[in-house]
């Protein structure tokens, strides 16, 4: 069902997901994919269903130039829906939704506030770009539940932040701040302002500027610098590590992305 306020129109895609046609004057039109699944916007079946429907909805709209995933309430996607644990998994599969987003012909931007944890961060890493408000925290805390990230986090995180830091984050389950995430290259920008609508507008503008600047469709899974870093380390010997470090001897692969990343305040 579509709703309109004159300039912007919204269509409900599932119980908890709607896509809104949002126009930013002078910049263009984005598809704002709103998730509203309180209390923490967990990746319930109806959220996955709505996100899967959003990809073709944006792709097929000739006016929408990009898509932005943004959540209502107090947080971005905070992870899997624990109420579904131990039950038969209903389609669509979360990893299939991530693949659909990665393959989208139009760029997807994750707008992060509150926390992006576990499956939420993994969903954000499947997007082409990520922005966050300055109070956001990000992490893969699955180890604290006795499990490992199962949605591509162990593959995508090293490609963004380098093997040593990714290994530390996965094995400790620690959260990092938006400022740390920006420095590491995990996100592409920080939106100033604590109000959720301010984050949304900043993300909309970031998405449209990325299109205007011709930044394309960068896919995290295509980043290969971490592999080269590991090969170079094996050939040249391990770099020195801090005293007492228990991390394996890997070279960092994040430095190049940090240089290439447009680390800006949106």
Report which of 149, 147, 167 is spatially closest to residue 158, judged by C-alpha positions: 167
DSSP 233-259: HHHH-PPP--TT--S-------HHHHH
- Choosing from 122, 174, 224, 232, which is the catalytic residue? 122
- Distance (Å, rounded) from C-alpha 150 to C-alpha 118? 9
| Main-chain phi, psi angles of 184, to 5 degrees | -75, -20
- Distance (Å, rounded) from C-alpha 67 to C-alpha 70? 10
Q: Is 168 a catalytic residue?
A: no
Alpha-carbon torsion (18, 23, 24, 30), positive or negative:
positive
Q: Is 142 a catalytic residue?
A: yes
74-88 CB burial, b ≥16 within 10 A, e <16: ebbbbbbbeeeeeee
17 Ramachandran zone, left/alpha/beta (phi>0; psi -120 to 50): beta
Reported as type and span, the H/E element at residue 80 is none
Report which of 129, 125, 256 is spatially closest to residue 202, judged by C-alpha positions: 129
- Distance (Å, rounded) from C-alpha 115 to C-alpha 156? 18
* 142 within 8 A of 149, measured Cβ to Cβ: yes
Q: What is the DSSP letter of 186?
A: S
- Choosing from 142, 168, 174, 180, which is the catalytic residue? 142
Catalytic residues: 122, 142
């Amino acid at each position: 069902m579509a709703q309109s306020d004159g300039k912007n129109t919204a269509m409900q895609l599932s119980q908890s997901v709607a896509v809104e046609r949002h126009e930013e004057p002078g910049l263009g039109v984005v598809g704002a994919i709103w998730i509203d699944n309180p209390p923490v916007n967990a990746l319930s079946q109806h959220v996955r269903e709505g996100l899967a429907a959003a990809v073709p909805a944006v792709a097929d709209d000739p006016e929408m130039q990009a898509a932005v995933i943004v959540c209502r309430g107090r947080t971005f996607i905070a992870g899997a829906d624990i109420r579904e644990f131990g039950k038969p998994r209903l389609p669509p599969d979360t990893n299939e939704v991530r693949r659909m987003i990665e393959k989208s012909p139009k760029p997807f931007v994750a707008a992060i506030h509150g926390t992006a944890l576990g499956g939420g961060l993994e969903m954000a890493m499947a997007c082409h770009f990520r922005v966050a408000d300055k109070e956001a925290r990000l992490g893969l805390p699955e180890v604290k539940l006795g499990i490992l990230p199962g949605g591509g986090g162990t593959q995508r995180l090293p490609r963004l932040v380098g093997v040593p830091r990714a290994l530390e984050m996965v094995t400790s389950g620690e959260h990092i701040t938006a400022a740390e995430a920006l420095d590491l290259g995990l996100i592409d920008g920080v939106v100033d302002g604590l109000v959720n609508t301010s984050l949304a507008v900043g993300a909309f503008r970031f998405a449209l500027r990325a299109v205007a600047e011709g930044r394309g469709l960068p896919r995290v899974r295509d980043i290969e610098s971490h592999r080269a870093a590991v090969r170079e380390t094996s050939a040249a010997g391990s770099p020195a590590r801090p005293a007492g470090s228990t991390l394996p001897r890997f070279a960092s692969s994040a430095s190049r992305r940090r240089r290439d990343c447009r680390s800006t305040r949106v």
